[in-house]
Structure 1
């Protein structure tokens, strides 16, 4: 099991400017719990990169977040009836239904968007994420959001790129791993965060 005291002591000093709020501790615990439950034997660099991604995507809160914007913005961005032709075309390519824009906007530790993605990941998790706005909101539940983050990055569900493409044996590419989520946007910064998280991972000594 991950040595939580070591982990939090080092995170506090190297990533959180000497102080962790309870919500940040809770969020980190949720991510570590999800990892230990289903990925404990996987490459620690995977966990470190997922933590670095969540750190960046949530603006350091370590809590699932909603995409910024109101109903008008979500309609323009994600609805097939959007007044913006390029966004309407994108929505149609993604299989969006009229009215989807204000429901299937970004949520989570990474921004899960579009009905098709909510449906695909919901099926993998055995959860209904698409039948109603309340169902889509399950992606904001920390345990669900943590599993979406880790499974999505492991299996390449966000962009087709996955963790093993960048971390496997002697292979490691902390910068290009950003392609798992969002091209090379802020790639160097997230690589720094992820390496710092990697240095925080240690394990308890067995009996």
Structure 2
């Protein structure tokens, strides 16, 4: 894919970008490589929203303290972290096993240190695997998005159910459309 053309297409719509945002987008592009066009677009749109456009892994309620998270989040210490806000112990167990299987960590390392999912490469890997595998809500990318070609507005709206019900589905659909156009401008089809 021609990344210069990709960035030239998306920059007028959602840019300008900081160097950190560019690096984050590049990291997510690398993690999404080889997936169908619409899947890659939604894999990019998700952290654009979930990280508040930083394209860097973040903690749930990052503007609040760890003490606040301890007191208010019923799933503490398995609260949202990363590009996709991984939550709940079962998902951390899945992430630990999947990351260990490909050599991103040692078995049990994420369970011993949940902050490990904040590492950029691990976070991007977890996001793709979780979205493809239905880890978060039971809905997979392939359940709602086409395996070839472009997605419809409705399909991108429905894709939000992969992560978090219908919360902000319209907004994230807009981002997915921008990223899809950019991917096509870069030569993907």
Within 1, Cα distance between the matches of 2:78 and 2:146?
A: 33
SS of the residue corresponding to residue 143 of structure 1 reads helix
Within 2, Cα distance between the matches of 1:178 and 1:152?
A: 13
| 2:110 aligned residue (129, 136, 148) | 129
Report how many aligned residue pairs link the two structures: 174
| 1:161 aligned residue (139, 164, 180) | 139
- Rg larger in structure: 1
- Report runs of 4+ in structure 1 exceeding 3 Å deviation: 169-172, 202-205
Within 2, Cα distance between the matches of 1:104 and 1:193?
A: 28
Tell me what 2:81 maps to: 107
Q: Normalized against structure 2, the TM-score is what?
A: 0.85
**Mind listing any 5+ residue stretches in structure 2 that lack a counterpart?**
none
SS of the residue corresponding to residue 175 of structure 2 reads helix
Structure with larger RCO (C-alpha < 8 A, sep 6+)? 2
Structure 2 contact 47–84 (Cα < 8 Å) conserved: yes
Tell me what 2:28 maps to: 31
What CA deviation, in whole Å up to 9, does each residue of 1:31-71 have, x standing for no partner? Answer: 111122xxx1x311001011111111111111111112323
Q: Normalized against structure 1, the TM-score is what?
A: 0.78
| CA spacing shift, 1:204–1:193, aligned 2, 3 Å | closer
SS of the residue corresponding to residue 73 of structure 1 reads helix
Give yes or no for the alignment of 1:182 onto 2:164: yes
Structure 2 contact 29–44 (Cα < 8 Å) conserved: no
SS of the residue corresponding to residue 111 of structure 2 reads coil
Within 2, Cα distance between the matches of 1:165 and 1:191?
A: 16
Q: Which moved more, 1:180-189 or 1:167-176?
A: 167-176
Within 1, Cα distance between the matches of 2:88 and 2:147?
A: 34
Within 1, Cα distance between the matches of 2:147 and 2:6?
A: 23
Q: CA deviation at 1:3?
A: 1.1
SS of the residue corresponding to residue 156 of structure 2 reads coil
